[in-house]
A and B are shown apart, each in its own frame.
Chain A
Amino acid sequence: MTPALVALQAITIREGLRFVRQRSRFIAALIRPLVWLVVFAAGFRAALGLSITPPYQTYITYEIYIVPGLCGMIILFNGMQSSLSLVYDREMGSMRLLLTSPLPRWWLLFCRLFASTAISVLQVYTFLAVAALYGIDMPWQGYVLVLPALLVSGLMLGALGLALSSAIRQLENFAGVMNFVIFPMFFLSSALYPLWKMAESSALLRDICAINPFTHAVELIRFALYGQFNAMALFWTMLAGLVFAGAALWGYDPARGMKRQ
């Protein structure tokens, strides 16, 4: 194995061990979308009528509609949680250890990104399994085809977390990220309501949702879960991912300093 792959494997195992150790984090990550699915969606089922829009070929209940959005939610929360742990790592010093490795810095950051995405994917599959037990299942090929969609979405949202972590000086500031990044990104997307439904109440809100990269990640996942490919969603998700990755690399550029005093 090349040194780069050795490092990738070790960083992924370390993140995995850390995740397994924090069992409460895993349970919280699973309970959150299940509460939305079982409680919120049940309440909204009567209030929200959904017409047939791709990728659906028949009338669907609201529970079915929000499953891809909740997959996105898991990845979004996990991406941010991972950026929180990066800020923690930096305060605790283990980030120094990572960055003084003789491997290229962009590769080391990618390894961290990949490791946190792998954990998100694991959580999403667990959620999909529970949802299937609850009675919401997808065509079998959907479970396979969603994997690349989850990876691309996970890398994009992880890169956003990485970029944010380079800008956040202290752990305490992370609450701000919750309020100003996670919630707007989640609510101003197609995760909970289709865009045409949003347009009925406000065209401006609809436009904001349409440019939100999280919307495209959710749509990519939604189409993949039904065995379909949404090229537009893939394009926008990847573009956003590249922009965030560029910002993260800039943020961790040694010429800027790892922290300013």
Chain B
Amino acid sequence: MTGLAVRNVSYSYGSKRALDDVSFHVPQGAFCALLGPNGAGKSTLFSLMTRLFTTSEGEIEIAGHNLARSPRKALAQIGVVFQQPTLDLDLSVQRNLSYFAALHGLSGRLAQDRITAALERLDMAERAAERARDLNGGHRRRLEIARCLIHAPSVLLLDEPTVGLDAASRKAITHHVHDLSRQDGMTVLWATHLTDEIAPDDQVAVLHRGRLLKQAQCSALTAGQPLQDVFLTMTGETA
């Protein structure tokens, strides 16, 4: 099975159950929003999908590779943007990207071509020589997205990538990533708690208190209602 599959995954921090029997599937080329309030278990799920933690309960498959059985093949297919910024602020944009390329075993001309292509994709080619510290929040995020494309992954995992950004930057980044899925056929899992980042034809998986409440296409889930209201009703919160 291609795309991203999470099957019966559970995880506990000591006695606290953070994820409880979570299963969903994002087909190749689809954009799926993992929607959940703060503390729903989104970041734990991301840590499991990127193998920062492992769990013995359930399994995760990335582009057809089982993460527990072939971790290196699976990790090579993932492009990830963590909620927390992971740029080295004192290095230039170019150095940040070439460091990342090297972590994926890419060097020389091939790495440079990929870096140039990724920067152009995100309209950042002219910024290659700038220090990451001199970029504004929106551009830093964009740089992280450019970076996660360098090793040509087929699955993108983004954990609340628009946190702390202004409305224009949020819109631009949401738009860019939707394009990556529509035009390049990348599988995208986009964790968020902001319903305005989700398009009607996106998949939505609603996570609440460690359990997956529902997965459906956004328009089918809302049936004409605002997604915000549907989400708040499902999670039992009031607006």
Q: Which residues of A contact B (CB under 8 A)?
A: 1-4, 6-7, 9-11, 14, 17-18, 21, 92-94, 96-104, 108, 254-255, 257-258, 260-261
Cβ–Cβ < 8 Å partners of B105 in chain A: 2-4, 6-7, 102-103
Chain B interfacial residues counted at CB < 8 A? 36
* Docked pose: A99 CA to B86 CA in angstroms: 12
Cβ–Cβ < 8 Å partners of B13 in chain A: 257, 260-261
* Docked pose: A3 CA to B76 CA in angstroms: 12
Cβ–Cβ < 8 Å partners of A92 in chain B: 84-86
Contact across chains for B16 and A261 when beta carbons are under 8 A apart: yes
Contact across chains for A254 and B99 when beta carbons are under 8 A apart: no
* Docked pose: A108 CA to B95 CA in angstroms: 19
* Docked pose: A254 CA to B71 CA in angstroms: 11
Cβ–Cβ < 8 Å partners of A255 in chain B: 53-54, 56
A18-B90, A93-B82, A258-B47 known; A6+B106 contact, CB < 8 A: yes
Cβ–Cβ < 8 Å partners of A7 in chain B: 102-103, 105
A1-B107, A7-B103 known; A102+B73 contact, CB < 8 A: yes
Max chain A Cβ within 10 angstroms of own Cβ: one of B76, B98, B104, B105:
B105
Q: Considering the complex, give the chain A residue whose CB is closest to the CB of B144.
A: A97
Q: Looking at the complex, which one of A10, A21, A99, A100 makes contact with B102 (CB distance below 8 Å)? A: A10
Cβ–Cβ < 8 Å partners of B52 in chain A: 96, 99-100, 254, 257-258
Contact across chains for B82 and A17 when beta carbons are under 8 A apart: no
> What's the nearest-Cβ distance from chain B to residue A132, in Å?
33
Cβ–Cβ < 8 Å partners of A14 in chain B: 88, 91, 99
Q: Which residues of B contact A (CB under 8 A)?
A: 13-14, 16, 18, 47, 50-54, 56, 71-73, 75-76, 78, 80, 82, 84-88, 90-91, 95, 98-100, 102-107
Q: Considering the complex, give the chain B residue whose CB is closest to the CB of A17.
A: B91
Cβ–Cβ < 8 Å partners of B18 in chain A: 261
Q: Looking at the complex, which one of A10, A18, A100 makes contact with B78 (CB distance below 8 Å)? A: A100
24 contacts between A and B (CB under 8 A): A3-B106, A6-B105, A7-B105, A10-B98, A10-B107, A11-B103, A17-B95, A21-B90, A92-B84, A92-B85, A94-B88, A96-B52, A97-B82, A97-B103, A98-B103, A99-B51, A100-B75, A102-B104, A102-B105, A108-B103, A254-B52, A255-B56, A260-B13, A261-B13
